[in-house]
Amino acid sequence: MTQLDALKRLSMVVADTGDLDAIRRYQPHDATTNPSLILKAFDLDGYQALIDETLAAVKAEVADPDARIEEAVDRLSVAMGSEITKLVPGRVSTEVAAKLSFDEAASIDKAHHLISLYEKQGVSRDRVLIKLASTWEGIRAAEKLEKEGINCNLTLLFSDAQARACFEAGVYLISPFVGRVTDWYKKATGTESYAPDEDPGVKFVRGVCDYASRYGYQTVVMGASFRNTDQILALAGCNRLTISPALLEELSSTEGEVTRKVTDQSDRAEHPGRIEEARFRWEHNEDAMATEKLAEGIRTFAADQKKLEGLLAKRLG
């Protein structure tokens, strides 16, 4: 048995890609996308006809050049996501633009628009997760969307304060990052490598899983941003794991058993009470790694979105 097959017995495997061929090959349950992944998929042969068709419709229907670019990004994201839903039995995550990370109302409006585009494609909202950055504003937007029956994936999650606020908001799924956490600690401490059980990113996500289990939260915890298969295997048993094609290939070509590393807490604790905005901001601010990586992640996604907009502008003429 391959490690990938063994892992699927313990955790739901999600493809961290928009590559249709990779999704067909590794047969994940769900798939996640973000501006960086859509930018990569933009050059894939399998998407060219879809891109041309989508942009032709936008050009015919949207007169304002500025509005046309933003609409092209949204429709292309949804068109790619719709193709992915044909290949996975579960859900596809589609991201709200990073530039809206600190605007609750605009994030909600964008989520509504994305869901409406999916529904026009014949994809129901129960096949989609709206992906939002785990800022205070993003979490508040998700809380309202969840009450409307629009499930959310809170991404760029690096701190305990972010996780707790997401749990209390009742979001469907959170994506605590592993590799980016470890990257920060390697740079900060000068450490070249960590044993899996000592890896800061692994320990962070295990802690998030333990917290959810201890207080009985139903939010799905999905480990994300892996740098190597050791990190993945060290989180076997986590609800879901979103994995890049390169690491899926490594797991699928390696024989071996996989041992559960994340287990449910049998003892339940008394609920600590709702975290308020001031405390959230203070606790997150006290974590230098989380503060830096959240800001960096938002900037990176925003930069990739801008690159994508530039490519679409050229294609639109």
For residues 107 and 289, give the distance between their C-alpha atoms in angstroms, rounded to a whole number: 25
Give, as one character, the DSSP assignment of residue 97.
P
Residue 106, φ and ψ in degrees, nearest 5 = -65, -35
Element (H, E) at 30: strand 30-32
All residues at 6 or more sequence positions from 18 whose CB lies less than 8 Å from its CB, including other chains: 31, 33, 37, 38, 40, 41, 44, 80, 84
131 given a catalytic annotation:
yes
Q: How many CA atoms lie within 13 A of 213 on its CB side?
A: 15
DSSP E strand boundaries for 63-111: 92-95
Amino acid letter for position 246: A
Among residues 8, 131, 261, 293, the one annotated as catalytic is 131
Is-contact 229 256, C-beta < 8 A? no
Would you please indicate which residues are annotated as catalytic (active-site) residues?
Answer: 131
